[in-house]
Amino acid sequence: MLTSGSETERITEYTHDGLVFDVLDQGPLDGPVVLLLHGFPERASSWSAVMAILNDAGMRTIAPDQRGYSPRARPRRRRDYRVGALVGDVIALIDRIGRPVHVVGHDWGANIAWVTAGRRPDLALSLTAFSVPHPGAFMTGLLSSKQILHSWYFAFFQLPILPEKWMARPGQRAEKWYGRSGMTADDLERTRTEIVEYGALPFAVTWYRGLPFSNPGIGRLRITVPTSMVWSDGDTFITRSAIENAQRYVDAAYTLTVLPGISHWIPTQASRAAAAAILTNAELAVMQGFDTDSSA
């Protein structure tokens, strides 16, 4: 149940499950709210360029540093990073906002966005997912395509300590891996300062370690709000075959947009296209009656 709204004050942090999360809150306080969920290995700042465009369009944007990324929200147990716990953090933030929102996610954030919209459609006006499809579509891709070859690091990240040590070494293989995925020099520097030096890396990796503790039922969730799936053909992590199965899980208006020549890192490298997709989906949601008044 939604509490009273936060239209007269900024949300700079919120508390859930005994943890404190840092939040970026920008744009007109009375504007429609776009909730932006970052991926791995990034923080809320990865949405900065997208937020500026949305703010100019009259949207209020709220982007949290999620569990493990916020310094005061770093539990150590693997089970504390199961998908249900991560979704619970998002639901708590929407409750703090006090009204339904347009849910947006990239990479891991997209996975959490899909599950949030599936479990609590009353809180989601629309869903825009970047790079990562519905959990069921992703699992189907793992079993029926070359997706499993692109997801080798899921298994590697289950090892203790070694993955974060490997990724924290500047100029080593991990950074070359990032570079092959399309990360620019600026992206790499941001990862060094905002993830490695910030102390978030071991906890960010634990998102993968929490997967065995997650409810497999998330792969069967139905989505009943207007949905936009945005994928880029330069993505080295997610194959198109996995993306094309996403529509099977959506019982509402659905759009697939393919960005040519763009890598996996859509929010920073194709911010205008990303913002346009969010705005178009939000407009569609309003046209179809998925506005704040009808969803409250």
Is the four-CA dihedral 90, 91, 94, 99 of positive or negative sign? positive
- Which stretches within 133-211 are classed as H helix? 135-144, 147-150, 153-156, 162-168, 173-180, 185-191, 201-209
pLDDT given at position 143: 81
Asked if residue 23 is part of any domain, the answer here is yes
Q: How far is CA 11 from CA 8, 23, 62, 194, in A?
A: 10, 6, 8, 21
Please choose, from the candidates 29, 100, 37, the residue with its C-alpha nearest in 3D space to the C-alpha of residue 63. Answer: 37
pLDDT given at position 168: 85
pLDDT given at position 296: 36
CATH of residue 175: 3.40.50.1820
Asked if residue 74 is part of any domain, the answer here is yes
Decide: residue 261, CB within 10 A, 0-12 exposed, 13-18 middle, 19+ buried.
exposed
For 216, phi then psi, to 5°, come to: -65, -15
Interatomic CA distance for residues 68 and 239, integer angstroms = 27
Asked if residue 234 is part of any domain, the answer here is yes
Strand order across the beta sheet in which 33-37 lies: 13-16, 19-26, 60-64, 33-37, 101-106, 124-130, 227-234, 254-263
Number of compact structural domains in the chain = 1
What digits encode the pLDDT tens for the residues 171-210? 667 788 888 999 998 999 999 999 999 999 999 999 999 9
Interatomic CA distance for residues 266 and 104, integer angstroms = 13
Asked if residue 81 is part of any domain, the answer here is yes
Asked if residue 8 is part of any domain, the answer here is no
Q: How far is CA 118 from CA 57, 107, 170, 212, 248, in A?
A: 27, 17, 39, 20, 13
Asked if residue 296 is part of any domain, the answer here is no
pLDDT given at position 290: 80
Asked if residue 62 is part of any domain, the answer here is yes
Structure tokens at 192: 């060094």
* Domain residue limits at 271: 13-287
Which amino acids are annotated catalytic?
Answer: 107, 208, 264
CB 91 within 8 A of CB 235: no
pLDDT given at position 184: 92
Asked if residue 1 is part of any domain, the answer here is no
Q: Which amino acid is at 201?
A: L
Where the chain has pLDDT below 70, the residues are 1-7, 170-172, 292-296
What digits encode the pLDDT tens for the residues 55-99? 999 999 999 999 999 999 999 999 999 999 999 999 999 999 999
